[in-house]
Amino acid sequence: MTIRAAADGSALGNPGPAGWAWYVDDDCWSAGGWKHATNNQGELMAVLQLFRATAHLPDDLLILCDSQYVINCVSKWMPGWKRKGWRKADGKPVMNVELLKEIDEALVGRTYRFEWVKGHANHPLNEAADARARAASEAFQRGRPVDAGPGWVRSGDADAAAPVVAWIPAADAAAPPEPSLFSFDDEPADGSAVTVEVTARLTHQQHERLLVLASRQGVSVEQALADLV
């Protein structure tokens, strides 16, 4: 089978609050972003996240993309850049090289192709990805939680998708270490489980890390939080 998906990015101010999204249908999509990034970084991250989300599947991948920059980077320019040590023909460093290296690794063993679609031209999948990427950038602009979507959910797929990639633009790279939200030393003497209700107030970064942890473990966010406790 061939997976047909759109990937798109958004940046308010470019650079500014930014988002990315890939979209298959209303039950199968994902989005995220950063406080400060470029539109091209959002476009690249959308493609990277799509490759990672489908890495467990044997299907071919058709990526609908309105960014000629992304299509040319992945389909034309990367092999030459790699031979030159990730430098352009003029000797200057390639921009967004960290994301491009991640994409290069994600391509190994995959069968894929890109199809350019005109942006903002009422293409259903492109419009859906664009709307979610923009919603993510607007959420960061307003300091609100981002709707990350259901992730890879498709009937008949037995294996869990790969976790969300935790790449952070250089300007936001000083992220705090992975927190330990709770620490309880006392357990029942007989080893039996005790059910308690816990309410946790998380920062946006903590919430994103929890989403990554849940995806990596293949459990719900609630279960991931319970396991931390």
Give CA–CA dist 67/9, Å, rounded: 9
Residue 17: its pLDDT value, please? 98
The one catalytic residue in 8, 102, 104, 208 is: 8
Is the same domain home to 134 and 204? no
Q: Is 66 a catalytic residue?
A: yes
Residue 181: its pLDDT value, please? 39
Residue 149 falls inside a structural domain: no
Residue 153 falls inside a structural domain: no
The one catalytic residue in 91, 120, 191, 197 is: 120
Can you give the pTM of this predicted structure? 0.72
10-residue averages of pLDDT along the chain (229 residues): 97 97 98 97 98 96 98 97 95 96 97 96 97 98 96 72 56 45 44 52 54 53 64
Give the number of domains in the chain: 2
Residue 78 falls inside a structural domain: yes
What residues make up the domain containing 38?
Answer: 2-142
The one catalytic residue in 9, 19, 42, 149 is: 9
The one catalytic residue in 32, 43, 102, 104 is: 43
Residue 154 falls inside a structural domain: no
Structure tokens at 172: 């936001």
Residue 167 falls inside a structural domain: no
Is the same domain home to 137 and 36? yes
Q: Is 178 a catalytic residue?
A: no
Give CA–CA dist 214/198, Å, rounded: 17
Measure Cα distances from 168 to 35, 86, 150 in Å. 10, 20, 21
Give CA–CA dist 38/9, Å, rounded: 9
Q: Is 91 a catalytic residue?
A: no
The one catalytic residue in 130, 149, 151, 208 is: 130
Residue 154: its pLDDT value, please? 81
Q: Which of 203, 222, 221, 200 is nearest to 212 (CA)?
A: 221
Is the same domain home to 99 and 206? no
Q: Is 43 a catalytic residue?
A: yes
Supply the CATH number for residue 62's domain.
Answer: 3.30.420.10
End-to-end CA distance of the chain: 41
The one catalytic residue in 19, 33, 42, 66 is: 66
Q: Is 115 a catalytic residue?
A: no
SS3 label, residue 3: strand
- How is residue 74 annotated by DSSP? I
